[in-house]
Amino acid sequence: MKYWCFPLAWFAAACLAPSAVAQTRIWNAGVTGDWSLASNWNLGLPIAGQGFQINNGTAELSSVFAPVPAFGWTAPAAGQNGTLVITGSGALTTPIFYGGYAGTGTLTISNGGDFTSPTTYLGYNTGAAGHAIVEDTGSTWTVLSLFEIGRGGTGTLTVSNGGAVSAKTTTLGAQGGSTGSITVTGNDSTLTQTQNLNIGSLGNASLMISNGGFVSNTSATISTGASSTASATVTGENSRWTNSDTLNVGYRHQGTLTISDGGLVSNTAGMIGGSETGDGTVTVTGSNSTWTNTGGLVVGTSGQGTLAVSAGGTVTNQNGQIGWAAGSSGAVTITNGNSRWTNAATLAVGISGTGSLTIEAGGEVSNTASYIGQLSGSSGTVAVRGTDSLWASSGALQVGAAGVGALTVENSGTVTATSAALGVSAGSTGSLTVQDEGSLALTSSLLVGSNGDGTLAVFGGGVLANTEAYIATGGASISSATVTGNGSSWTNSSRLEIGYAGNGSLSIADGGQVSNTIGLIAQTADSAGTVTVIGSNSTWTNTTSLEIARAGTGTLTIANGGVVSAPYVAMSGNGDGTLHLNSGGRLDVGSFGLFKGSGTGTATVNFAGGTLRATASFSTSLPAALSNTSTFDTNGFSITAAGILSGAGSLTKTGAGVLTLSATNAYTGATTINAGTLHLTGSAANSAFTVNSGGTLGGTGATGALTVNAGGILAPGASPGLFTVNGNLSLLGTTLIELAAAGSRGTDFDAIDVNGAISFGGVLTVSLLNDFNPATGTSFDLFNWTGASSGTFTTINLPTLAGGLSWNTSTLYTNGALSVQTSAIPEPSTYAALFGAAALAFAAWRRRLRTASNHASRAP
């Protein structure tokens, strides 16, 4: 580059219109000619202080031209076509230059040529066209002041093959209807501005940097005017655009920036859609394509902003903000593997405006804290979808911080954060959806509805994990969580509280799984919590405990294959709690049982066809209402039910182990024992009992009608005791009778009272306790009945008696008695004793006849 000193008068001349300067030298060669030949000019060579103009033809300067003309212009009139070529050792300086003033003007600087024009216009007037080409290493053009490319017409600048242009401030498409464009292409081709670059002031404009070209400036704006449409493209390895200050894309109208195939753009703060009328779009695509913001990045500052990163593109910045001002909208998409948006600080989607973020097909976004719907009136949505798609927050995640926020993680996408909160401030709404094998992993807590309203949905194999979780923590919050579908899971490594202070609900359905240590429904006063577990393989696992209505109003419903488990279930401390164990539902309880908590609350238990299953032995004193057919599965353990069972429902006992009913129960449905032992120490006098194969009924209580089927066992008493049947008794299985001593029935030996008919059958097995050896003549009144009797035992197993004694069963089916007799023929000396014993037996028979006068038949 050649350097020149300019008298101030020359700059004064630059302020005058060309027509005002006399003695302008006009190119008259008409074709390509040598600038340095005086004959090619109408008045000779241009001189200092006067201008030159090239109306038509080409003037070629190949040597240093020392005089400094006051101005220069090409094609000053419409229809003209003038060209200035500065090449080789050519060098020219003029304070002001018009390339295509009214016609078509062309400037070419090549092969080391040098041109200095502090004020320059390309395509000055409407309809004019000005073109500038700076090519080849060593070719330079210096514009020290004002540079407008497409002032009123069309202007183009092409820098290639190592050419260099330096300017102060450059404007493309300066006036309405104008068009300006710059192309900088090839390694070492440069456009350097010491101040700003405006791409599209009021007209349309474009910037192209390719194949290693380089552009630098302080700040840059793409579409600065309300009517401009402007674009910038940086493409190819080592193609660079360096902004030492801000970059604004689509400030007042439509502006686009494309970074592709390894192009590099850098600036301090980045803004897309700067003003209310702005509409900006940035695309970063291809491996190694990078947009570096050393400050923050705002997508949708006050207008509309769009950012798309794909195919390995990278964007970095400090704070990331989408939808910054009220009324603004911003949308960001990060797609394909190795595409990354790195926020060194926070990321907010919807600050005061509307924001959206989509991460898909392996794209990655990272930041510290993150906000979706940050301020009141804002709206933010985030979707993370596809294998290897990742949103990683090293801080907390707020969905609906004060506005409306929604996060969806799906199709194997992944989100990580320390903690998360949905619906944080009063009036806010936050929703989180994890679906189709998407996953959200938190290293700390999850709040579903803090002071606002929160909604959580996990389905289609979605996976959610955190430490503790709370649903509806604020008093005014109405919040819910749903986990549904096989493979869908919500894992809480600590506690889960539903309705902490507000109104919270949890639904687990169709194979969904939820786990935690402590489960709490309706924790504080005035809170409300509802949990429903329904559908095959739906589970809620509480590894430490489950509390229903500690101080608020809580309800748990289990149905249709749903399973809830806990070492203990505490109901209704100072709150009112309800447990619905409906048809097909199962509640697994461990060693601490099912009980009412301390306090003034009311506990309501409805067994409506579900199953209470033991995972350890426990007792419960809670009353329960039975409807449908409910099941107690002792599962190899012992359950003691001391609360009153009422209602019209039925009860089924399954599983090895013992179920003890110790209350005076009032339920009227049937009782069926399919496995294990039902030990009745209270009563269920209004229930008809059936003991099936593998089941045992024992105890000292009372039942309704009783049928013991083949393979079933009736073991009355409590070593020993009296068992009462308020109805008919049908014995088809095994009846076990224990004799401890001669004396009172039910006290010294087992006995059965039947307030109805009796049908004998099956097997009777009698055993002696405590080495008891009854004496001759001892009678055991085993069975009493008030109705008819029928049948006989198919097998009677009696213990062996010592001392030549034997059992007499002759009155077993007539008066229910079993007695002991001497096996040998008595000696004459014993006749009197035998006669006395016979008299006593006859008297006993008369007594039995009087007390059981309604027996169908008696034999003396």
Q: Return the pLDDT at 273.
A: 98
How far apart (Å, rounded) are the C-alpha atoms in residues 121 and 107?
11
Q: What are phi and psi of 677, to 5 degrees?
A: -120, 135
854 pLDDT more than 60: no
DSSP assignment of 222-249, as one string? E--STT-EEEEEEESTT-EEEESS-EEE
- pLDDT tens digits, 527-558: 999 999 999 999 999 999 999 999 999 999 99
Q: Return the pLDDT at 45.
A: 96
Which residues lie across from 556 on neighbouring strands? 531, 579
Helices first, then strands: H and E counts in the chain: 3, 91
Q: Return the pLDDT at 141.
A: 99
Mean pLDDT of 305-320: 99
For residue 116 the two structure tokens come to 């200095």
Number of CB atoms found within 10 A of residue 821's CB:
16
131 pLDDT more than 80: yes
- pLDDT tens digits, 42-89: 999 999 999 999 999 999 999 999 999 999 999 999 999 999 999 999
Which residues lie across from 540 on neighbouring strands? 514, 564
Please give the C-alpha separations between residue 7 and each of 10, 13, 69, in angstroms, as whole numbers.
6, 10, 11
Listed residues 445, 467, 489: the one ending a domain: 467
402 pLDDT more than 90: yes
Mean pLDDT of 246-265: 98
As for how many domains the chain has, the answer is: 2
- Determine what percent of the chain is predicted with pLDDT higher than 90: 92
Residue 556 lies in a domain: no
Q: What is the DSSP letter of 104?
A: E
17 pLDDT more than 70: no
Structural domain boundaries, residue 781: 688-851
Under the banding of pLDDT at 50, 70 and 90, the label for residue 853 is very low
CB 691 within 8 A of CB 673: yes
Residue 303 lies in a domain: no
Residue 474 lies in a domain: no
Task: Decide: helix, strand or coil at residue 802.
Answer: coil
593 pLDDT more than 50: yes
Enter the pTM of the model.
Answer: 0.87
Residue 91 lies in a domain: no
Residue 394 lies in a domain: yes
First to last CA, the chain: 144
Listed residues 431, 447, 467: the one ending a domain: 467
Q: What is the DSSP letter of 627?
A: -
How far apart (Å, rounded) are the C-alpha atoms in residues 81 and 75?
5
Q: Return the pLDDT at 29.
A: 83
Cis-peptide, bond into residue 623, ω within 30° of zero: no
Q: For 672-676, 697-701, 725-729, 853-857, which range has the lowest pLDDT when averaged over its residues?
A: 853-857
- pLDDT tens digits, 766-781: 999 999 999 999 999 9
Listed residues 443, 467, 491: the one ending a domain: 467
Number of CB atoms found within 10 A of residue 89's CB:
14
Which residues lie across from 611 on neighbouring strands? 586, 631
Average pLDDT of the chain?
93
Number of CB atoms found within 10 A of residue 811's CB:
19
Q: Return the pLDDT at 11.
A: 37
How far apart (Å, rounded) are the C-alpha atoms in residues 649 and 667?
7
18 pLDDT more than 80: no
For residue 324 the two structure tokens come to 């910054």
Residue 409 lies in a domain: yes
CB-based contacts of 612: which residues, under 8 Å, 6+ apart? 581, 586, 587, 589, 594, 630, 631, 632, 633, 639
Strands (E), 656-782: 657-661, 671-673, 676-680, 683-684, 689-691, 695-699, 702-703, 706-708, 713-716, 722-725, 729-731, 734-739, 751-754, 758-760, 763-768, 779-781
Number of CB atoms found within 10 A of residue 744's CB:
12
- pLDDT tens digits, 411-426: 999 999 999 999 999 9
860 pLDDT more than 60: no
How far apart (Å, rounded) are the C-alpha atoms in residues 453 and 553?
19
Using alpha carbons, select from 391, 507, 494 the residue that is nearest to residue 457: 507
Q: Return the pLDDT at 30.
A: 74
Mean pLDDT of 671-686: 98
- pLDDT tens digits, 87-119: 999 999 999 999 999 999 999 999 999 999 999
- pLDDT tens digits, 730-748: 999 999 999 999 999 999 9
4 pLDDT more than 80: no
The larger pLDDT score, comparing residue 30 to residue 554, is at 554
